Amino acid sequence: MSDTDILFQPFELGPLQLANRLVMAPMTRNKSPGNIPGEDVVDYYRRRAAGGVGLIITEGTCINHIAASGYPDVPYFHGGERLEAWQKVADAVHAEGGKIAPQLWHCGGMRRAGTPPEGDVNGYTPSGMNVPGKINRHVMTQRDIDDVVAAFGQGAADAKALGFDAVEIHGAHGYLVDQFFWEGTNQRDDDYGGSLERRNRFALEVIAAVRAAVGPTFPVILRWSQWKQQDYGARLVTSPGELERFLLPLSAAGVDIFHCSTRRFWEPEFEGSDLNLAGWTRKITGKPAITVGSVGLSADFIPAPGETAFRAAEPASLDELVRRMEADEFDLVAVGRALIANPAWVRLVKEQRLADIRAYDSGMLEALV
C-alpha cells in the first residue's frame, strides 16, 4: 500500500476543521424504532468518531414533511424527542473529537403508500413518476414544493441549533431532489421542468432556504449522483460542458462542498480525462469535493444476482485513492461499507494494521456494531 499520509492531512473550511480527509458516508440502517435514534445509534456513531473518522455524515434523516419517509424505522429530524436524540448523537461524536453533519432527506417517489407511520400517504414527485413513464405517485403542486423547501430550511436551522458542524442535502440516488434533476422523472411543463437549468430550480430553492436558515459561514454539503437506484446507468449530464451548466448555479446558490456519489471512485467520468466525478466537480466549481465509491473494498455495492443486500467485499488497496489525492483530484474521501465492518478503519489504516481490517459481509447490516 502507498504511504497514506495525505489522507491524514487536516482540512479546514470556515468553521469546519477536520483532523483528516476521511468521511463516514451516509448509510441507511433502519434501526430507529419510532423514528427516534436510540442509545445504540448514539454508540454506533460514537465508535466511528473514536475510530478516527474526521467527519461523520449521518444516515438519511427525514425532514418535517408528511411524505418525506419511504422506509420503516428510519430516523426523523424533527420533533422534540427526535431532535433530543440527535443532540445525544452529536454530543457523543464531539466527545470523541469528531465532527458530524446530518443528511437531510426526502424520499420523494421512493415512498410507497402504506409505509408507516404515515400510512396511506403516497410518494410525492415532480411528475407522479418514481421511474420514467409510470405515473403512480402524487404530482407536487406549488404549495407542496414550497412546503418541502421550507422543511429543508427548518431541518438545517435545527441542525445548527443542536451544535452539528455542517449539514448535507440529499440530492442523489433517485430521491426527491434528484427526481427533479432527472429528466426521466421530471416531465413538468412549468418553471421546474424542461431544460437542465429549469430542472435545477427546486434544488436551488432548497439550497437557498438552507443557506438562509444557517447563515453565510455554516458549511452546506450537497450529495448528488449520476446513477439512480431506479437505473444504475442513468446520467444527468454527458459532457464537461453540461456538467458546468448543472453545477455552477448550485455552487452560486450556496453549496460549500459537493459530495459526488459514484459506485467506483477510480472510474473516469468522461472520455479523454482520468478525472472522476469529484475531480470534474472540483475543477469546474473550485469548491471542495468528496469522492466516494467502494473505497478500500474489492467490489462495488450493487447486489449480486438474486440478492438484495449490498454486495460483500474484501479489503483492497488504497494505492489508486492515494494517487488521486496526491494529484489534488478531490479533497475528502467518504467511506461506507468498510466502516460498517470496521468501526476503527481510519485508525487501522493510519497505523498500517492492514491485517486487522475485516472484510465486509452483508450480514453486518443486521445489527448496529
Closest of 178, 170, 174 to residue 131, by C-alpha? 174
Is residue 45 annotated as part of the catalytic site, yes or no?
A: no
225-239 in b/e form (b: 16+ CB < 10 A) is bbbbebeeebebbee
Cell numbers at residue 336, please? Answer: 461506507
If 0-12 CB within 10 Å is exposed, 13-18 middle and 19+ buried, where does residue 60 land? buried
Instruction: Please tell me which residue in 44, 45, 175, 360 is annotated as part of the active site.
Output: 175
Cell numbers at residue 296, please? Answer: 478500500
Three-state secondary-structure class, residue 8: helix
Pairing of strands 16-18, 11-13: antiparallel
Stretch (H or E) spanning 94: helix 80-95
Stretch (H or E) spanning 153: helix 142-162
CB 121 within 8 A of CB 113: yes
Closest of 135, 81, 137, 88 to residue 109, by C-alpha? 137
**Catalytic residue ranges:** 175
